[in-house]
Structure 1
Amino acid sequence: MKNQSTVTEFTLTSFPVLPELRAFLFAVLLFTYTLTATGNIIISLIWTDNRLQTPMYFFPSNLSFLDILYTTVVTPKLLACLLGEKKTISSAGCITQAYFCFYVGTVEFILLAVMSFDRYVAICNPLCYPIIMNSRACLLLVLGCWVGAFLSVLAPTIVVTRLPYCHKEINHFFCDIAPLLQVACIDMHLIEKIDFLLSALVTLSSLAFTTGSYTYIISTILRIPSAQGHQKVFYTCPSHITVVSIAYGSNIFVYVRPNQNYSLDFNKVAAVLITVVTPLLNLFIYSLRNDKVKELLRDSMDRIIFLILRKTH
């Protein structure tokens, strides 16, 4: 194995779309990215309000920050590939993009599991919630998400940086791990098996924890005799479960497979769900459906409009 790759830049195949559809796809993705990034930035600023300095809002604020990172790592390069003829990316930029996608995605999965535990404590043990989910515990849980994800992706990243690459074309719209391993010059079966085991460990363990938490939440609320309790579960849980199902389903299909060398074209569709659709859904479900957040958002917009009108007059 060589210490340095023999390829200095890669070519991304992007989407095999007709030229007349490329502009439409570019417009849709640009609108989605702008809405997701702008919305999450605004929401992230709103989280700093003193009225939202509680554990209930602490985890969604971190999720908004992760969604900004995740969609920004992938979407601008995809837009550049759709807009122009040059679809190249440097080897260093490619590996950096692959690392951050892998890292941020892992942090988000662990955070979703932590958020499900937070909801479990709030609904199933409301009297103990202020004691269990205090500020120190929340900070340690979020720090654990970032550190745990870093440790889990560190070894695969080191391996990827030291692989010799002798093919320039990557069959994807961004530098993901599976298509990047395909262009290496050596036999990748062992590394693919290790990548599969790590992906399965992180994804399936967090999925099992999240599923268990929501199962307890639903069973607890359904035992409440009042109709108001039933209405609460049907208002809150389905939307969260929808986001979790899309996120885990698409990631399991793409990454939790012993052999990732087939159906790469279909993987691109699943990757769009992961990198573009899920951050947008998180914005609406975890943030904009919250009454307190909507109230603060209206207050912020009113202040902005007032300042604009004041300057114009």
Structure 2
Amino acid sequence: MKNMAAGNYFTVTEFFLAGLSGKQELQILLFLLFFGIYMVTVAGNLGMITLIVLSSNLHNPMYYFLSSLSFIDFCQSTVVTPKMLLGFLTEKNLISYCECMTQLYFFIIFSIAECYTLAAMAYDHYVAICKPLLYTITMSYQTYSSLISVYIFSVLSASIHTGFMIRIWFCKLDVINHYFCDLLPLLKLACSNTYINELLILIFSIVNIFVPTLTIIASYISIIASILRIKSTEGRSKAFSTCSSHISAVTVFFGSAAFMYLQPSSVRSMDQGKVSSVFYTTVVPMLNPLIYSLRNKDVSISLKKILQRKKFMLQK
């Protein structure tokens, strides 16, 4: 066995990941689907970061936040998806205890970082639309301090969650009913008391979902009030266009995360949780660069310029 008895508990050295589906006939189809999603995610997010680095007209706070979001999405997808893809090709998808805790740690870091980056982007839109004359002065300092704060808080939160998870003794049953190591599926295997872990999940979920959400809502209330005072239709349209891509990203990410973590345990279903998890671990990281590139004129113009420059160089 892979477990060593310790009183009534066991020291688990390996877990089995149940994956998205137990139906063998779907495994290759799911592999091809998520492999395609992952390739688009990698290309889209690394492409967005490269475009922002190479385009001088995108060197402003708004796009620094966007490049940070692309970095987070790339890392988040890479933490989860390759292991999930491997699971579609193997009969028993094993993950060692150390790998599981490492995956959990980095998953939490990038999930929380995305929450606060989306909130920081909403504040950036608020300053740009409501206080345009102060934008450069205000955001030149706050951009870097915000990004640093986001990652510090994310690492701290992940360290606390993972530290308390390491204290848990697991039962002999070592099948995680999920496609990656997440907090809630792991706690279902616990034999020791999980009260502190569940309390931490509730507290951090409320803080990390509601604080960014309230920041976003407050920012957009001010933004909408400011837009309604704009007399020209073109000005209103431009202002709404600036915010629409961000609103789309926020809705999908926070909606799926809230469905997973803020439901009472009595009505929570792991199978439904898997579906919502797919959205914020694989679909959102793929959609974000597409949303921002297709609905952002500055990004589209910069991309066309770089492609034209490359074409000109090849013709020479």
User: Normalising by the residue count of structure 1, what TM-score does the alignment of the two structures yield?
Assistant: 0.91
Equivalent in 146, 152, 155 of residue 150 of structure 1: 155
- C-alpha displacement of 1:257: 3.4
Q: Distance in 2 between matches of 1:288 and 1:5?
A: 52
- C-alpha displacement of 1:253: 1.1
CA 169–119 in structure 1, closer or farther in 2 if over 3 Å, else same = same
CA 195–223 in structure 1, closer or farther in 2 if over 3 Å, else same = same
- Other structure's SS at 1:11 match: strand
Equivalent in 21, 29, 34 of residue 29 of structure 1: 34
Residue 283 of structure 2 is matched in structure 1 by: 277
- Other structure's SS at 1:127 match: helix
The residue correspondences of 1:123-162 to structure 2 (distance < 5 A) are 123-134=129-140, 136-162=141-167
Larger mean CA deviation between 194-203 and 105-114 belongs to 194-203
- C-alpha displacement of 1:192: 0.8
Equivalent in 113, 121, 131 of residue 115 of structure 1: 121
Q: What 5-or-longer segments of structure 1 have no aligned partner?
A: none
Q: Distance in 1 between matches of 2:32 and 2:203?
A: 38
Q: Letter of the aligned partner of 1:173 in structure 2?
A: Y
CA contact (8 A) 1:203 1:248 kept: yes
RMSD: 2.2
CA 287–141 in structure 1, closer or farther in 2 if over 3 Å, else same = farther
- C-alpha displacement of 1:126: 0.4
Residue 18 of structure 1 is matched in structure 2 by: 23
- C-alpha displacement of 1:243: 1.5
Q: Letter of the aligned partner of 2:190 in structure 1?
A: A
Q: Distance in 1 between matches of 2:64 and 2:221?
A: 23
Q: Letter of the aligned partner of 2:45 in structure 1?
A: N
Larger mean CA deviation between 25-34 and 46-55 belongs to 46-55
Number of residue pairs matched by the alignment: 308
Q: Distance in 1 between matches of 2:113 and 2:71?
A: 11
1:216 equivalenced with 2:222 (yes/no): yes
Q: Letter of the aligned partner of 1:32 in structure 2?
A: I
Equivalent in 272, 293, 298 of residue 299 of structure 2: 293
The residue correspondences of 1:64-75 to structure 2 (distance < 5 A) are 64-75=70-81
Larger mean CA deviation between 46-55 and 143-152 belongs to 46-55
CA contact (8 A) 1:12 1:173 kept: yes
The residue correspondences of 1:204-243 to structure 2 (distance < 5 A) are 204-243=210-249
- C-alpha displacement of 1:308: 6.7
CA contact (8 A) 2:241 2:296 kept: no
CA 76–84 in structure 1, closer or farther in 2 if over 3 Å, else same = same
CA contact (8 A) 2:37 2:282 kept: yes
Q: What 5-or-longer segments of structure 2 have no aligned partner?
A: 1-5
Equivalent in 93, 99, 102 of residue 93 of structure 1: 99
